[in-house]
Amino acid sequence: MGDSMKLVHLSDLHLGKRVNEFSMIENQEFILKKIINIIDEVKPDGVIIAGDVYDKSVPSEDAVRLWDDFLNMLAIRHLQVYAISGNHDSAVRFAEHSRIVDGAGIHLSPAYKGHLSHYTFSDEYSDKCGDVNIYMLPFIKPANVRSFYPDEEITDYTSAVRVALAHPGADEEHIDSKSRNILVAHQFVTGAERCESEEITIGGLDNVDTSVFDDFDYVALGHIHGPQKVSRETIRYSGTPLKYSFSEKDHHKSVTVITIREKDNVEIEKIPLEAKRDLRQIKGTYEELSDKKNYENTNREDYIHAVLTDEEDVPDAISKLRIIYPNLMKLTYDNKRTRENRIIEGGADVDRKSPIELFEEFYEKQNNQEMSDEQKELVTSLIDSIWD
């Protein structure tokens, strides 16, 4: 392989994903081409894809086509690819034809069968530091590992991953901590910051402690959507290449590039990714959001969450705003009524109050503001007609 080994770390492509019923395929196709452009610039030796290639275990035709096109673009560049299945992928379906594509340098990790897929490479540091080992661990649950090692004590996700890593393969009794080792995994590591778009296990039962990764110089993780390190710089989530929920609106998406030199010497670089359409939030009154001077220099094709601050609901606001923002995904209100939910207590002195007074009290407690004169006139006329 020659000089130091350089790898691009990706994860959580979620191909075929829909956000608020909008298909992400066009945005995904755009961002995969951007990633190929980055690969052409940095010229890595290989690409790691740490799980959740697809958004569903039975992916759409468009999603399969996109993945096939992406793998083909990597293969024609003679890159080694190390891809594992995540919790959204079907582990069995994901690794179909893996033996055939192995010959083209596309390594798709099969469903966990009691050992890890393992690839070894030489570089300029091999004589001094030993070869570089890449181990691939697809998404696992404790039951998966327990079925192969019933005599081991496996009580949670941490012990499951620890046991899986303690049995790397039939020809290998343990992972040599003196070598340069890379792990590709798809788990939730304790301390990582989550967001709404990820599957969350109640009570944090899926937590994996970072101590299980002590033998690895770099841990390429998938599962968490925000790019981040956990515990140390070299245990890292690359994050999704696109924003997949409004809880990710402030994320800065990127591609992670790692350069492996001597033992314990790993350089990390993050290269920003800009989507064709951003996922962002706009806030103001209906009048402000529909004022041309406030939107003319923005990308109106972005995926938008509009937060209206009007005290009164704007009739048919979502349809009207979609004329300006065609990809408006969500509309909510932030006003007195939504900010404070008052407790409506039992009506004291109900018998001594007129119907309009009772209605005014009810309206004020529901909406945190008094009725307007126009509203009072309308309600009074309705009460009069009902009473008559």
pLDDT at 349: 55
Would residue 16 count as lying in a domain? Answer: yes
Residue 378 banded pLDDT, cuts 50, 70, 90: confident
Average pLDDT over residues 339-352: 53
Find, among 107, 192, 110, the residue nearest to 157 by Cα. Answer: 192
How distant, in Å, are the alpha carbons of 63, 67, 85, 330, 368 from that of 317? 33, 38, 42, 11, 22
Which among 245, 272, 299 is the end of a domain? 272
Q: Does one domain contain both 195 and 101?
A: yes
pLDDT at 254: 95
| 274: helix, strand or coil | coil
Q: How many CB atoms lie within 10 A of CB 41?
A: 10
Burial status of residue 363 (CB atoms within 10 A of its CB: 0-12, 13-18, 19 or more) = middle
High-pLDDT (> 90) share of the chain, %: 58
Question: What does the mean pLDDT of the chain come to?
Answer: 86
Q: Does one domain contain both 327 and 354?
A: no
Q: Does one domain contain both 374 and 241?
A: no
Would residue 177 count as lying in a domain? Answer: yes
Q: Does one domain contain both 38 and 95?
A: yes
Would residue 344 count as lying in a domain? Answer: no
In angstroms, the CA 370 to CA 107 distance is: 66
pLDDT digit string, tens, across residues 264-291: 889 999 999 999 999 999 999 999 999 9
Find, among 261, 8, 235, 7, the residue nearest to 130 by Cα. Answer: 261
Residue 341 banded pLDDT, cuts 50, 70, 90: low
pLDDT of 131 > 50? The answer is: yes
Would residue 296 count as lying in a domain? Answer: yes
DSSP state of 248: G
Would residue 232 count as lying in a domain? Answer: yes
pLDDT of 333 > 50? The answer is: yes
Please, where are the H alpha helices in 137-217? 142-146, 157-166
Q: Does one domain contain both 283 and 167?
A: no
Which among 272, 288, 322 is the end of a domain? 272
CA 130 remoteness from chain centre: 35
Residue 342 banded pLDDT, cuts 50, 70, 90: very low
Q: Does one domain contain both 206 and 327?
A: no
Q: Does one domain contain both 250 and 320?
A: no
Would residue 263 count as lying in a domain? Answer: yes
- Point out which residues pair with 307 in neighbouring strands: 283, 332
pLDDT at 174: 83
Average pLDDT over residues 334-350: 61
Q: Does one domain contain both 197 and 262?
A: yes
Average pLDDT over residues 43-57: 93
Q: How many CB atoms lie within 10 A of CB 264?
A: 9
pLDDT at 364: 66
Would residue 157 count as lying in a domain? Answer: yes
Residue of 350 and 290 predicted with greater confidence: 290
In angstroms, the CA 153 to CA 100 distance is: 37
Tell me the whole-structure pTM to 2 decimals: 0.81
Q: Does one domain contain both 56 and 124?
A: yes
In angstroms, the CA 205 to CA 142 distance is: 11
Q: Does one domain contain both 136 and 244?
A: yes
DSSP letters, 81-106, are EEEE--TTS-HHHHTTTHHHHHTTTE
Average pLDDT over residues 134-146: 93
Which among 272, 299, 329 is the end of a domain? 272
Residue 353 banded pLDDT, cuts 50, 70, 90: low
Q: Which helix (H) or strand (E) holds 289?
A: helix 286-289
pLDDT of 242 > 90? The answer is: yes
pLDDT digit string, tens, across residues 292-325: 999 999 999 999 999 999 988 899 999 999 999 9
Would residue 345 count as lying in a domain? Answer: no
In the chain, the DSSP E strands lie at: 5-10, 18-19, 22-23, 46-50, 80-84, 106-108, 117-121, 132-137, 180-186, 188-189, 207-208, 218-222, 228-230, 232-237, 254-260, 266-272, 279-284, 303-308, 328-333
Split into its structural domains, the chain has a count of: 3
Q: Does one domain contain both 330 and 373?
A: no
Residue of 220 and 98 predicted with greater confidence: 220
Q: Does one domain contain both 248 and 297?
A: no
- Residue 312 token pair: 């009164």
Query: What CATH code is carried by the domain that includes residue 119?
Result: 3.60.21.10
pLDDT at 84: 93
Whole domain around residue 121: which residue ranges? 5-272
